[in-house]
């Protein structure tokens, strides 16, 4: 039989796969078909002229090459490729854009300082005194090679020290895998790797072969190397969901259970990387710490709690860990695939080689050196989806005691809420008197600025209320002044995202307004503040967003104000909230709800009075003294809150 004429081959891709290239290979007597597929598992079929299908393979990846024998055996031509996935082309198009154009923000490209990279390599145990050539290391988002190049140095040093004389390509080819999505970055890093290997006296051909075995260009989340690794290190991309193209986000969500709620891209990176760890393997990442306490981190925390050991946590907030200022709250975590156990903890080390080398030794030592001021150990931190509590052991003991003994704020008949977000304050908010609507269609509004002094000093603002008291929006035909007011601002109001999503409700505020809240006495708490800032409001004003409020059917609010101003509340919020730059805490509803208080009926009359007076005088010391009595704090427990225990 004579070989078929390759040029006569026709390739008709059906479905959404895209054929890039068909190259006849006369020597190999085959056609090489390259096609782009992204997303779901894809079945590829070659169909013969009579229509009989012959499945050639199942593929799951980016750029695939298919070899089809050019022997005209049993009528294999023309060829048709079928792809039985519907979203794949959109996903590949999105990846392609990121790979070829994605800007620094969309790809989360932030580079790590060399001292920090060495610290992480030391912490995971990727050190030249070990036979690294027998181990496997993964860098899932290698960027410019900040982790990769030092890892290559360590690997080559370990190899050279071993005196091994065999083929370096055979010996080291499997020792490293590094993935990078961005083509140009990938090309530059590949070249840097080749030069680094050559620099160690290795021939260009071997250096190139090694680089090509080590590095791969693609999306780590879609086409991970299906292998197991002893080490995974890096700085996974930190990319908010809004910046991820919709089809790609949907695909990530489909594949990764941890891509939950508003999870950032680094979350599925951690999931995928953890699952690729060999038994006993160590993962060392520097990335945002938000997932350790917040809602979207729940499923990932649960995965870690179930199957891994959170070995080391180093808080890197406010340290110059990266090559430029970034708005992130970084932490280093070392997580191993081994039985869960205690966690070593350090905070904000100074970024110099000696400090970090010594700290790595302390964090890895069999036991924390007694009297260490830099490292400490906490027993089991991970617990299902619960936030990780990384504070000091005596503070944790106090929190645990209070949690066992007292109900939560809401169980004790207090309610936590957030003020109204309108989506267009310019249109919905104005001088209360001047707002030209029916009197029952506006409410006096209290904002963060009104409570700066610690007391309410109302500046006369008001908010439009488009809702009836029992729920739905009012009928504008019944409120001609409101209608005129809204129509005059329609462009802004109807242009809001929420209005565009539901045009028939174009004049609703983002949050529903419940006028009865204005009439209740309440405590107002602004979102970001270093200290508890809790202000009593007598029941006249409606809270603006950025203000949380607490109302209660049982507790006297003045007495509760003293409790919320005390160090005990601060400890609860500090323990459960994610911290901001400069040590600021976030007094958000979810953290306020964690606070424990006794039932009001259990508070003795004398103490009730003491709490109320402390709050009225805004004397923080007096609030602390009364709150300490309320919770029956021991001297040690008082000391755990700071100060001298008095």
Ligand X SMILES: C[S@@+](CC[C@H](N)C(=O)[O-])C[C@H]1O[C@@H](n2cnc3c(N)ncnc32)[C@H](O)[C@@H]1O
- Which residues lie near ligand X (CB under 6 A)? 107-112, 141-144, 146-147, 179-182, 185, 219-221, 234-235, 237
Tokens of 241: 């969901």
User: Which of 239, 517 has the CB closer to ligand X?
Assistant: 239
What is the nearest approach in angstroms of ligand X to the Cβ of residue 66?
Answer: 24
Shortest gap between Cβ of 34 and ligand X (angstroms)? Answer: 20
Q: Give me 403's structure tokens.
A: 């949690």
CB of 181 to ligand X, least distance (A): 4
Of the two residues 117 and 630, which places its CB atom closer to ligand X in the complex? Answer: 117
CB-nearer residue toward ligand X: 155 or 412: 155
Least distance between ligand X and beta carbon 211 (Å): 16
**Strand 375-378, strand 343-347: pairing:** antiparallel
Q: Considering beta carbons, is residue 155 or 535 the nearer one to ligand X? A: 155
E strand or H helix at 574, and its extent?
helix 567-576
Q: Which is nearer to ligand X, 143 or 299 (CB)?
A: 143
Alpha-carbon gap, residue 69 to 28, rounded angstroms: 8
Smallest separation (angstroms) from ligand X to the CB of 143:
2
Three-state secondary structure call for residue 321: coil
Q: Could you tell me the smallest distance in angstroms from the CB atom of residue 618 to ligand X?
A: 46
Q: What's the rounded Cα separation, in Å, for the pair 100 and 217?
A: 11
**Least Å distance between CB 246 and ligand X?**
15
Closest CA to 523 of 631, 414, 402: 414
Q: Whole-angstrom Cα distance, residue 58 to residue 55?
A: 8
CA distance readout (Å), 446 to 209, 507, 549, 553, 560 = 67, 21, 11, 22, 20
Q: What is the DSSP letter of 3?
A: P
* Shorter beta-carbon distance to ligand X: residue 22 or 109: 109
Minimum CB–partner distance for residue 180 and ligand X (Å): 5
Question: d(Cα 562, Cα 250) in Å, to the nearest integer?
Answer: 47
Phi and psi, residue 522, nearest 5°:
-155, 160
We find the least distance from the C-beta atom of residue 155 to ligand X, in angstroms, to be 17
Distance of alpha carbon 338 from its chain centroid, rounded? Answer: 24
Q: What is the number of the residue whose Cβ is closest to ligand X?
A: 143
> Which helix (H) or strand (E) element contains residue 342?
none
Task: CB nearer to ligand X: give 182 or 612.
Answer: 182
Rg (CA), the chain: 31
Q: What does the alpha-carbon distance between residue 249 and residue 458 come to, in Å, rounded to a whole number? A: 45
Collect all residues with Cβ–Cβ distance below 8 Å to 253 and sequence separation of at least 6. Answer: 259
Q: 626 and 584 in contact (C-beta within 8 Å)?
A: no
Q: Which is nearer to ligand X, 112 or 336 (CB)?
A: 112
User: Nearer Cβ to ligand X, position 6 or 234?
Assistant: 234
Q: From the CB of 179, what's the least distance to ligand X, in Å?
A: 5
Torsion of CA 341, 347, 352, 356, to 10 degrees: -20
- In what helix (H) or strand (E) does residue 30 lie, and over which residues does it extend? strand 30-36
Nearer to ligand X, 246 or 488 (CB): 246
Cis peptide before 78 (omega within 30 of 0): yes
- Tracing tokens 């038994």 back to the chain, one arrives at 279
């Amino acid at each position: 039989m004579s070989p078929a004429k390759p040029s006569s081959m026709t390739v008709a891709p059906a479905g959404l796969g895209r054929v890039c290239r068909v190259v006849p290979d006369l020597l190999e007597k085959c056609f090489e078909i390259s096609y782009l597929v992204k997303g779901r598992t894809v079945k590829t079929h070659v169909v013969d002229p009579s229509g009989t299908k012959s499945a050639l393979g199942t593929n799951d990846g980016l750029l695939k090459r298919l070899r089809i024998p050019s022997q005209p055996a049993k009528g294999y031509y023309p060829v048709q490729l079928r792809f039985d996935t519907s979203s794949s082309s959109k996903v590949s198009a999105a990846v392609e854009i990121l790979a070829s154009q994605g800007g620094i923000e969309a790809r989360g490209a932030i580079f790590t300082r060399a001292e920090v990279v060495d610290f992480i390599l030391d912490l995971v145990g990727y050190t030249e005194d070990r036979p690294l050539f027998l181990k496997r290391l993964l860098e899932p988002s290698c960027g410019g090679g900040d982790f990769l190049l030092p890892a290559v140095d360590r690997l080559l040093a370990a190899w050279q020290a071993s005196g091994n004389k065999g083929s370096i390509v055979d010996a080291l080819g499997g020792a490293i895998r590094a993935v990078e999505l961005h083509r140009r970055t990938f090309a530059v890093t590949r070249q840097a790797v080749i030069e680094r290997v050559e620099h160690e006296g290795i021939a260009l051909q071997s250096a190139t072969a090694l680089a090509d075995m080590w590095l791969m260009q693609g999306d780590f989340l879609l086409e991970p190397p299906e292998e197991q690794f002893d080490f995974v290190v890096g700085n996974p991309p930190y990319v908010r969901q809004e910046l991820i193209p919709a089809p790609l986000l949907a695909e990530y969500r489909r594949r990764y259970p941890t891509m939950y709620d508003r999870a950032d891209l680094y979350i599925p990176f951690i999931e995928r990387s953890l699952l690729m760890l060999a038994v006993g393997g160590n993962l060392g990442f520097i990335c945002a710490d938000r997932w350790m306490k917040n809602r979207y981190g729940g499923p990932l925390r649960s995965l870690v709690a179930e199957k891994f050991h959170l070995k080391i946590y180093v808080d890197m907030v406010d340290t110059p860990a990266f090559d430029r200022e970034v708005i992130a709250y970084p932490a280093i975590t070392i997580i191993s695939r081994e039985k869960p156990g205690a966690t070593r903890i350090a905070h904000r080390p100074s970024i110099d080689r000696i400090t970090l080398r010594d700290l790595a030794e302390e964090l890895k030592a069999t036991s924390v050196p007694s009297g260490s001021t830099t490292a400490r150990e906490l027993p089991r931190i991970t617990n299902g989806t619960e936030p990780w509590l990384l504070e000091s052991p005596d503070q944790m003991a106090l929190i645990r005691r209070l949690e066992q003994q007292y109900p939560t704020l809401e169980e004790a008949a207090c309610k936590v809420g957030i003020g109204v977000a309108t989506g267009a304050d310019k249109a919905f908010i104005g001088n209360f008197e001047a707002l030209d609507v029916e009197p029952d269609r506006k409410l006096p509004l209290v904002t963060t600025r009104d409570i700066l002094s610690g007391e309410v000093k109302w500046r006369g603002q008001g908010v439009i209320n488009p809702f009836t008291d029992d729920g739905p929006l009012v009928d504008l035909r019944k409120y001609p002044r409101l209608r005129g007011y809204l129509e005059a601002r329609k462009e802004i109001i109807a242009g809001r995202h929420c209005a565009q999503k539901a045009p028939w409700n174009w004049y609703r505020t983002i949050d529903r307004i419940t006028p009865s809240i204005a009439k209740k006495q309440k405590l107002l708490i602004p979102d970001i503040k270093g200290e508890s800032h809790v202000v009593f409001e007598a029941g006249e004003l409606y809270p603006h967003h950025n203000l949380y409020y607490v109302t209660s059917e049982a507790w006297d609010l003045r007495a509760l104000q003293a409790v919320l101003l005390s160090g005990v509340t601060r400890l609860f919020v500090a323990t459960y909230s994610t911290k901001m730059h400069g040590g600021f805490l976030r007094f958000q509803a979810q953290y306020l709800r964690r606070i424990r208080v006794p039932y009001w009926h259990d508070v003795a009359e004398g103490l009730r009075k003491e709490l109320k007076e402390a709050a009225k005088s805004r004397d923080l010391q007096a609030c602390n003294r009364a709150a300490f009595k309320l919770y029956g704090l021991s001297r040690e427990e008082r000391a755990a809150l700071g100060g001298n225990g008095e």
